[in-house]
Each structure stands twice: as C-alpha cells, then as structure tokens.
Structure 1
Amino acid sequence: MKILHLIHKHQNRGAETFTCQLSNHQSKIGHEVKIVAVYNGEANLNWKDSIESLIGDENKFIDWKAWKKLSEYVNDFKPDIIQANSGDTLKYAVLSKITFGWKTPIIFRNASEVGQYLNSNSQKMFNYLLYRKVSGVASVSKKSKNDLIGHFSFLEKKTTIIPIGLEEKTVISRIKFDSSRRYNIVHVGGFSFEKNHEGLIRIFRKVVDQRKDIHLHLIGDGPLKSQIENFSNEFALNDYISFYGFVNNPLDYIKAADLLVLPSIIEGLPGVLLEAMYCKTPVIAYDVGGISEIVKSQTGTLMKKDDKEGFANAILEKIDHPDLTQLENAYNMVARNYMNKKLATKFLNFYKEVLE
C-alpha cells in the first residue's frame, strides 16, 4: 500500500511526532510511505526520509500554489490513501482535491475536540464542506469522536477510534534535578493557549504558598513562552520555576520528576500522560478531551477543569501520599493498549475498510 501523510509543519509537537512514528512502523511492515508538510518549519523530525513542504502560506485562505503542489505529489506518488494529521492538513487536502480533481481517499486523524474551534456559523459550514469530502476519520478518543459526531452526524459510520501511542523503549533518565529541591514537578507541552500555562502558574503559586521544597520544570517552546516567563516573574516564582525550551529527551525529564501535571483547557488524548505512565511518574490532569479515558482513580488523579484550588491540593496530596499501586496500573494499561507497533496495524486495517 502507498500512504501519503500530511502534517502541519516541521515542528516538534505531538501530531507531527506521532505521524513520523506511525510512518516508521508502516514502512517497516512493508508499505511505501511519504510525509509532506503543509507549511515550512525548522524542526528535525524522526523520519527516515526527507519531509517535503507545500510551502503553504498561513496567512492565505486561497493558496493555489500549495494546492497545486499537493496535486502534483498525488499524481507523482499515486498513494492509495492520504492521511491528514490535524492542523490545516485537512483543509489543504480537500481544497486541492476539489480544485484539481484527484480521486485518492482522504483519512482525517481527529486529535482534538473540533467543537472547541467552531466559533461561528461560517466556520461550521466550512468544516461541513471539508468533512463531506473525507472517506474516514480516526479519532484519538471516545470524547473526540462524540464531539465530532455531535457537530457532524453524517460522519458516524465513517469514524473509528485509534488512540495516540508510544514507542517501546527502556527509559533511563540521565537528568538529575537540583538536590536542594526535594520535590520536582514537570510539565511538557508547547506554549500555546490550549496548554494553559497561565493557569498552571496560578496553581503552582498556591502550592509554593504551602511549601518551599518544590520546583516546577517547564519543557517546551512556543509563541507564548516569553509571556509566561513574564507572568511567572509577576508571581515572584523565579526561584521555583525553570524554563528549558525544546529538548530532545523529554522522557528523561519525566522519568526524573516526582509528578507530571497537565492543566490543559483543550486536549484530544495527550501522549505526554501516556509517557508519564510509561515512566511510572504520577499524573494530575484536568478532565478535558479524552483524558478521563486514561486517567482514572486507578491510574492517576483527574481534576475538574478550572479547579485551581483542587489541583493545588491534589499536588500537595501526591507529595505526601504517593500511590505505588496506581503507578503499576497505569504502566500496565499503557504497555497493553497504547504502543505504536499495535496501533500501526489498526490504522492499516482502517485503511483497508475505507478502500473496500
């Protein structure tokens, strides 16, 4: 089978990372895989071949040159299936298909809750047009699937659930945090509004008010990073927070931490929670998106969205009362159900269903 994956851009974010991991497994199985980015980016992604770009313009709605370039890739590579992996990939795939008339089926990987982004009737109508042209949707969670179908009911029979996954590896942490801090908390995620770093700073201020032997490590980069650094300064947390930017080995930081926190306001099924569980690091997260499908009382601590006080109290509780049984349950769940080697086969089976 020939598979063409579309990604948003060369960037070290969850959708692009997972697409490359999935593509590597599909290639190992014996399929011919190509990855194309809609926009230019600078990150080096873990894919064995080059990732070409449509050189799309993020400020244009009508991007004729990029649509044409995608049609040329389709005509040259002749894929059996095209998978649009979140971001603007679906828009470019559908508008290229409509404009230039190619016939390859489009699969959309729904990695979030689309309803959170539909703020007007015009947006909903435009998305209606896009989804009418897809042959199948792979949603990362039940919540993502139900949200999508709630807005576009005609997709019900076209939609399946295939979660995000992890690579099998032996996790050996080479990171050692400052020993003067007895308790280390980590957050991994790009500095975007969805990740709610401002809310995290407010939560952490409440924790620091209760105890001082604690430190927050923020892993990631993004457009809001400098703003959050300033916000941290305003809360007088300079001595209690470290900003690392992008790192190549986030698992090492997760493994070295005593706790991973994720107070996001929008999520699909965040891989960082699975990574923490795989590292046997405790997790606390807001109940958004599909998080409740993996974070339960047996595997972690789930908090009501925007409950900053409760989140801070949960952190303090974890510090004093770690639950080792919970960590074993979480690890076993991930090892059993969320490894990429198995998920690659699920995607291939879904493609075959679509093509029949």
Structure 2
Amino acid sequence: MEGEDKINIIHFGLSGNPGGIETYLLKVASRIDRSKFVFSFIDTTGSNAGPCFYDEFADLGCHFYTICPRRKSISQNKKDLKKLFNENIFDVLHFHVNTLSYIEPVLIALKHGVKVVIHSRNAGTRGSFITNALHFLNKKRIEALNDTVTRVAVSELAGKWLFGDNQKFTILNNGVDTEKFHFDKNARNEVRKSLKINGDTIALGSIAAFTPAKNQQFILDVLFKMNKSDFKFKVFFVGDGYLKTGIEALAKKYSLENCVEFLGKKSNIPELMSAFDILLLPSFYEGFPNVVLEAQCCGLPCIISNYITEEVVIDKSLVCRLPINDDSRQGWVDEINNVAKMIHNSDAELREMAFRIIDERGFSTKNEIERLENLYSSVVA
C-alpha cells in the first residue's frame, strides 16, 4: 500500500447520504496533513455510486475498499472484512458510529493488530428493538476490551451514551471553518432576494435531515401557535430524508403552506445562514451538532432543544435551550418573538464579529485537526 512511511488510517462510517459523519470526514480529509497521514474508507453502502462524497475523497487521494453490507449477508460481510485486513496494512481503524449495533470491523481489526479508535458521534437513537438490543450487548463487549481500544466522543453526552458512565473517553469537539461561516452581508441580501424574503419577514431556518431525531414536526406545531405576533415569520426547511413527505403533508394540514418553504439539499449553507434570522433545532438527541456551532460563527441566534448538550453553547448570547415537551410550545413562541424584537432593534453588522469567539475558544477547524493529528500519533506511538 502507498504511504508506508505515513500513518495509514482506515475509516468506517460513510453512508450514501450527506449526514454529520460524512461531512465531518470530508472536512478532515481535506485538511489533514497528507504528508503524514493516508486515509482509506470501508464502503458498505452496496451502491454502484459508492458512498457520499466519493469523488471528493478520491480527488484527495483517499482509498476505498468495498465490503458486502451485513444487511445483504452477515457471513460475506465477515469474510470481506477478514480479507481486507489480511491483504492490507493499516495502523488505525477509526470507527465512527451512532450506535454499537454493529462492531465486526472493530473485532476483526484488533485480531490483525490494528489500533482502534471508536468515535461516538451521537447521544441517542430511535432505532428498532433489534438495533437497541444489539447496541446493549455490544456495549458490554466494548467495555470488556478495556484499554485495547481508544474511546473518543464529540461531547460528554455522546461519550456516556455509547460507552457508559464508567468508561474513560476523550472529548474531541467538532470544529468550524470560521472563514467559511463568517457572516456575509452581501450573501444575506442576495439569498433573501432570491428566496423573496421581504424586509419585514423573520426567516426561521431548519437545517437538518428529515429523520425522527430532528423533530421537525415540533417546528410546525410552534409555527401553528404563532398566529398573533408583531412580525411575519417564514420557516425554511433545508435538507432531505424519508420523513420529509410527512412534514410537507402536516404543513398543508395546518394550512401553513404560505409560511413554510422546503428547499431540499443545499450546498450553500454558509450563505443561507447569513440570510436566516433564527435557527431552530428541536432535536430529541444530538452528539455535538455542527450546525449550531456554524450558526454561532455566523452570528445567527439559535433556539435549540434542551436535550442537546450544553457543550455546543459557545456564545450564550446567541443560543437558548428550551424543553420540547407538549407544554413547551408556547415557550418557543415567546422566545422566537423575543429574538425577533432583538433582531429588529439591532444592526445586522454586529453579526460580523461573532466568529472571533469561536476562534478564541478553540473551536476552529484548525484546532480540531491539530487535536485529531495528535490523537492518531499518540495511538500508534
């Protein structure tokens, strides 16, 4: 394999959809010191198109190894993994997961003398009974491995969720590209013009995949209660997913068609954040949501669920954490109105300074990559 004088890292966790893990890995792959590290990826998507961002990773010199998906054949999946580690030399398996329902790559890598980093990317699941049962059983198996694996998490909540309260783990918070997510007044004006957002409209943004964890229905419930306000509101849903059709139907049921717009997947997230006035994220659980970090970098006020770790709150003046139970919708209505008044009475140029706090507190992408490189070096030392 190429790069024998470098540290060879093989990653597991890529899917065919641009989620948090995929976006994180592309960010890391594009910024890691390629004179010291070589990245490879295990592809279990079972798709001819390959995993998400395949072309981008390939352009960065990354390698891919196709493994039979376990949903297709458990026995072939194991056989392919054994062949992979028999025929190639890797220094580290970086295992990015939301649950421990599947740990075969970890077990096989360890048998071949490969160091393993297990990286908890989330703080909960709404999976099936089987997924939850396997997670519970494999959690015990990972505990029994003791110090033979390195445990990493994006937050305290994510670490405790995956590894348990009594296991030691390192917190490696996500970082944000402060130059990319810096507030841009020109982008704000251009995007608002293209989306036909009037000057008297407060643009509420939801940037999330349509999955059970993201709880977009709650946003519509809140919007439905906002019939009396001094402001005109419109929600822009950015993202895709299998629950999107149901949310669109609910918007029609609530007669909110004129108050919501579904933009689908978008690549211009920084520009959209500059255009939006408030970010809404009523999630049931998150590991360490990058979207909230990016929003703070952009000076975009955020109203988020109190189930989301407080570790993501870097600038307390920009983030409000609220409950998401049945009795809390009015609280969200009141807070949205309060933030709208604050925005109405403030100068948008104040948002241009927000990125400095992210930099000062060590949450830039540069700091994140440095910590990851140090982690890899320490694991193989």
Q: TM-score, normalised by structure 2?
A: 0.81
- Contact kept in structure 1, 2:292 and 2:312, CA below 8 Å: no
CA–CA separation in structure 2 for the residues paired with 1:128 and 1:86: 16
Match of 1:334 in 2: 358
Deviates more, 1:257-266 or 1:303-312: 303-312
1:128 to 140, 149, 173: 140
Deviates more, 1:330-339 or 1:4-13: 330-339
Match of 2:76 in 1: 65
1:113 aligns with 2:127: no
CA–CA separation in structure 1 for the residues paired with 2:92 and 2:126: 28
CA–CA separation in structure 2 for the residues paired with 1:37 and 1:165: 25
Query: Larger radius of gyration, structure 1 or 2?
Result: 2
1:44 aligns with 2:53: yes
- Contact kept in structure 1, 2:109 and 2:115, CA below 8 Å: no
Match of 1:308 in 2: 329
- Contact kept in structure 2, 1:111 and 1:268, CA below 8 Å: yes
1:93 aligns with 2:105: yes
Note the C-alpha offset of 1:242.
Answer: 0.5
1:178 aligns with 2:196: yes
- Contact kept in structure 1, 2:238 and 2:264, CA below 8 Å: yes
CA–CA separation in structure 2 for the residues paired with 1:330 and 1:80: 39
CA–CA separation in structure 1 for the residues paired with 2:271 and 2:74: 41
2:112 to 102, 109, 113: 102
Note the C-alpha offset of 1:40.
Answer: 3.9
- Contact kept in structure 2, 1:191 and 1:197, CA below 8 Å: yes
Match of 1:12 in 2: 18
1:74 aligns with 2:80: no
CA–CA separation in structure 2 for the residues paired with 1:32 and 1:5: 11
AA aligned opposite 2:85: V
AA aligned opposite 2:374: N
Deviates more, 1:337-346 or 1:231-240: 337-346
AA aligned opposite 1:202: D
CA shift digits 1:171-190 (9 cap, x unpaired): 54252231336211111010
CA–CA separation in structure 2 for the residues paired with 1:51 and 1:31: 12
- Contact kept in structure 2, 1:37 and 1:51, CA below 8 Å: no
CA–CA separation in structure 2 for the residues paired with 1:161 and 1:63: 32
- Contact kept in structure 2, 1:300 and 1:326, CA below 8 Å: no
Deviates more, 1:294-303 or 1:327-336: 327-336
CA–CA separation in structure 1 for the residues paired with 2:296 and 2:268: 16
AA aligned opposite 2:329: K
- Contact kept in structure 2, 1:39 and 1:58, CA below 8 Å: no
Match of 2:3 in 1: none
1:278 aligns with 2:284: no
Match of 1:246 in 2: 265
1:317 to 314, 338, 354: 338
Note the C-alpha offset of 1:229.
Answer: 0.7
CA–CA separation in structure 1 for the residues paired with 2:42 and 2:276: 35
CA shift digits 1:210-269 (9 cap, x unpaired): 356211000001111111111111111111101111111222111111111111111011
Deviates more, 1:65-74 or 1:282-291: 65-74
CA–CA separation in structure 2 for the residues paired with 1:241 and 1:162: 36
Equivalent runs, 1:222-237 vs 2, <5 Å = 222-237=241-256
SS in 2 for 1:321: helix
Deviates more, 1:176-185 or 1:273-282: 176-185
AA aligned opposite 1:311: W
- Contact kept in structure 1, 2:67 and 2:81, CA below 8 Å: no
Q: How many residues align?
A: 349
Equivalent runs, 1:141-220 vs 2, <5 Å = 141-149=155-163, 151=164, 153=166, 155-156=167-168, 159-170=169-180, 171=182, 172=184, 173=187, 174-176=190-192, 177-180=195-198, 182-210=201-229, 213-220=232-239
Match of 2:379 in 1: 354
- Contact kept in structure 2, 1:8 and 1:88, CA below 8 Å: no
Q: TM-score, normalised by structure 1?
A: 0.86
Match of 1:344 in 2: 369
- Contact kept in structure 1, 2:98 and 2:125, CA below 8 Å: no
CA shift digits 1:185-217 (9 cap, x unpaired): 111010000000111111122224435621100
CA–CA separation in structure 1 for the residues paired with 2:33 and 2:40: 9
- Cα distance change, pair 261–114 in 1 and its aligned pair in 2 (3 A): closer
- Contact kept in structure 1, 2:225 and 2:330, CA below 8 Å: yes
Match of 1:137 in 2: 151
- Cα distance change, pair 74–294 in 1 and its aligned pair in 2 (3 A): farther
CA shift digits 1:35-69 (9 cap, x unpaired): 23332465435422466353543635x62323332
AA aligned opposite 2:268: N
CA–CA separation in structure 1 for the residues paired with 2:177 and 2:315: 23
AA aligned opposite 2:355: Y
CA–CA separation in structure 2 for the residues paired with 1:275 and 1:96: 37
AA aligned opposite 1:331: F
